């Protein structure tokens, strides 16, 4: 894997590995299912249930293709005997299909935010955000788990020259949650008596 020229981190194929993935913030997950396809499918099913915006590549033998609906948990398939050149090509094709990640993409659970294209998607659905909604969302998810007061958010997102009240923050948070939908509105959390925060990534990993 190091020959791909990428920063590769290894995790054992266990349910506990799911809890580490948000901290690793991978741009792609490559799951080796060749030795234990049953376990791999169970773990990837749990991973898919958490609805992360991370593409998955499965490595497995041809004899396992019909045993499970791999298309529900993976985005690409490679054989254990594939060459580095083939794997590199498949990863490049996958990146093209998914829009790429790179340093411009910030992820939190099912949410994906691109700071260069200003595109935000949740579970693959693109959201139509105003500029300030985008900036507020970006500011929060770049600092998941950290609580900010309304005054702090006004200063950081709207700037010194903004003369509106803190209700402006409440209105934008309400609109963001409406656009995220009931399934994902908890990505932005209210801390009563203080302000708002983006959800801690570790809290978004589903139990297998």
Residue-level length of the chain:
208
Query: 0.95 exceeded by the pTM?
Result: no
Domain boundaries, the chain: 2-98, 105-204
- pLDDT given for residue 88 in this prediction: 84
Round to whole Å and give the CA distance between 172 and 81: 51
Q: Indicate whether 192 pLDDT > 50.
A: yes
**CA end-to-end distance (rounded Å), the chain:** 27
Order of strands across the sheet that contains 56-59: 29-32, 56-59, 76-78
- Position of tokens 């900036």? 135
CATH topology of domain 105-204: Arc Repressor Mutant, subunit A (1.10.10)
Confidence tier at 23 by pLDDT (50, 70, 90)? low
pLDDT tens-digit map of 152-167: 999 989 986 677 788 8
Residue-wise DSSP of 112-155: EEETTT--EEETTEEE---HHHHHHHHHHHTSTT--EEHHHHII
CATH superfamily, domain 2-98, is: Response regulator (3.40.50.2300)
Q: Enumerate residues 6+ apart whose C-beta is below 8 A from 18.
A: 43, 46, 47, 50, 205, 206, 208
């Amino acid at each position: 894997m190091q020959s791909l020229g990428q920063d590769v981190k290894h995790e054992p194929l266990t349910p506990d590995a799911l809890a580490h993935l948000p901290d690793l913030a991978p741009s792609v997950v490559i799951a080796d299912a060749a030795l234990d396809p049953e376990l791999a499918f169970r773990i990837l099913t749990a991973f898919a249930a958490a609805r992360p915006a991370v593409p998955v590549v499965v490595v497995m033998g041809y004899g396992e293709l019909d045993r499970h609906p791999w298309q529900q948990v993976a985005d690409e398939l490679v054989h254990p005997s594939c060459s580095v050149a083939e794997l590199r090509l498949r990863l490049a094709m996958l990146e093209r299909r998914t829009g790429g990640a790179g340093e411009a993409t910030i992820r939190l659970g099912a949410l994906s935010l691109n700071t260069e294209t200003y595109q935000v998607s949740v579970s693959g659905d693109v959201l139509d955000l105003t500029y300030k909604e985008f900036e507020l969302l970006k500011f929060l998810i770049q600092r998941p788990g950290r609580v900010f007061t309304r005054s702090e958010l006004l200063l950081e997102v709207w700037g010194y020259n903004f003369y509106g009240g803190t209700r402006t923050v409440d209105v934008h948070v309400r609109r963001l949650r409406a656009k995220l939908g009931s399934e994902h509105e908890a990505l932005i959390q209210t801390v009563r008596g203080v302000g708002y925060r983006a959800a801690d990534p570790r809290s978004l990993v589903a139990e297998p």
